Amino acid sequence: METLAGLEAQLNDFSPAKRLQALEALIAAGGSPAAEQPVVNLHCHTFFSFNAFGYSPSGLAWLARKCGFRGMGIVDFDVLDGVDEFLDACEQLGVRGSAGMETRVFLPEFASREINSPGEPGVFYTMGVGFTSSQVPAAVVPILADMRRRAEERNRSMLARINAFLSPVTVNYERDVLPLTPTGNATERHMLAAYLKAAAECVPDLAAFWAEKLQMEPEQVAIQMEDAAKFGNMLRAKLMKRGGIGYVQPGPDTFPEMGEVNRLIASCGALPCAAWLDGTSAGEQAEEELLNLLIGKGVVALNIIPDRNWNIADPEVRRRKVENLYEVVALADRLDLPLNVGTEMNAPGQRLVDNCDAPELAPVRQAFLDGADFVYGHTVLQRALGLGYQSDWAQTHLPTRRERNDFYTRMGRRVPPGKNGLARLKQAGEEVQPAELLSMAF
């Protein structure tokens, strides 16, 4: 019989059949889930884009059950490949799950201002949350395909520039990069891993090689290489980020239009969700102007990565960013934008879940939990009955955003995760009234 550790490792195999086999074996092995903790992570990248721990959608669902997270949500760049697997696993395991997608767009209204993509005026990280299927309506399939095509073209162009610079260390996209992904959705971090592997295989003195290419002292590079995570981040910054040899400054035509992306998200019954960095850029200094603009484009929620706004060594920087965090949470409340929070998990050193016991997060902790209940409430009703936030039913019975926010938050608190809660909702039927749903016994 497979050991528990062996089955947990198999949950992250690239083979869907092996992942499902491991999940079923873990469920069959029994054992009570961990006691629920008042913590959530609704922004976890899976290995369908890049997860620093190697987690698959099933692996993240199991992590939530094992650790007792109140809610878990996945987010991948430019693809919905993990949605079905994750939500199915959450249903099997009794986990409050949500699923999303992240991408970049260009905002012409902020073309002269840096927003949440450092050094790139007009470029904006944005999201959709509350998806319930990996399949999208036929009318918006071309939008999703275009997002993936653009990402691959940017990768291949960057790879060519870095190959020319790092020769004789070169990487082939098909041979060296794509095998690092389950469905071919490569990111900069996959390319970085491929370059590190290629250099280790063909360069006798790595410190000397990187020192020459990066114009650094060999001794300095050798010290950096002692911490693999920090060295990788430094190398990515030198090669792929602004000022690096592989970097090209994006413009209005680099990324899709926000209107198209939000049309894709809403057509899937999901929720367009703005992303906030830390409040220090020129664009985020005008956050109310920005959010009002985005609300006009269909945005109904706001994503925050809390750890980067308080877990900071410099006390003055920490003080300023914590103040910015409190301000944006208060602004989101005034603008009726529920919060989606998490740690990303797409870089070494990031937490499995936010430390909500930190004194800095105490004033905003309930807003984080309320946001998680909202996203789950929407997800479970959309999944069970097609009565999510974007439905005609919601528009008719809950005409204002505040009414909808309150309703789906309350439903998220009431509906227990797992098969039984979903089955009970399905019995209510699509003609049910909001008050009837809120009064149901679970």
Q: Closest Cα to residue 376, out of 23, 66, 35, 72?
A: 72
Over residues 417-437, the pLDDT tens digits come to 999 999 999 999 999 999 999
Distance, in Å, from the CA atom of 54 to the CA atom of 52, rounded to the nearest integer, reads: 6
Q: What is the pTM of this model?
A: 0.96
Q: Cite the residue boundaries of each domain of the chain with CATH code 3.20.20.140.
A: 32-136+268-439
Distance, in Å, from the CA atom of 342 to the CA atom of 332, rounded to the nearest integer, reads: 16
Helix residue spans in 302-418 (DSSP H): 315-334, 365-385, 392-397, 401-414
**pLDDT (0 to 100) of residue 2:** 75
- The answer for residues whose C-beta is within 8 angstroms of residue 215's C-beta and 6 or more apart is none
**Measured in Å, how far apart are the chain's first and last C-alpha atoms?**
36
Please report which confidence band the pLDDT of residue 83 belongs to, taking 50, 70 and 90 as the band edges: very high
Question: In the chain, what's the furthest Cα-to-Cα distance?
Answer: 70
Amino acid at 36: E
Q: Closest Cα to residue 44, out of 107, 122, 127, 119?
A: 127
Strands 69-77 and 271-276: unpaired
Three-state DSSP at 333 gives helix
Percent share of the chain, pLDDT over 90: 95
Distance, in Å, from the CA atom of 313 to the CA atom of 380, rounded to the nearest integer, reads: 39
Q: Of the CATH numbers 3.40.50.620, 1.10.287.610, 3.20.20.140, 3.30.70.20, which one belongs to the domain with range 32-136+268-439?
A: 3.20.20.140
Mean pLDDT of 222-235: 93
Q: What six digits make up the tokens of 296?
A: 């006009």
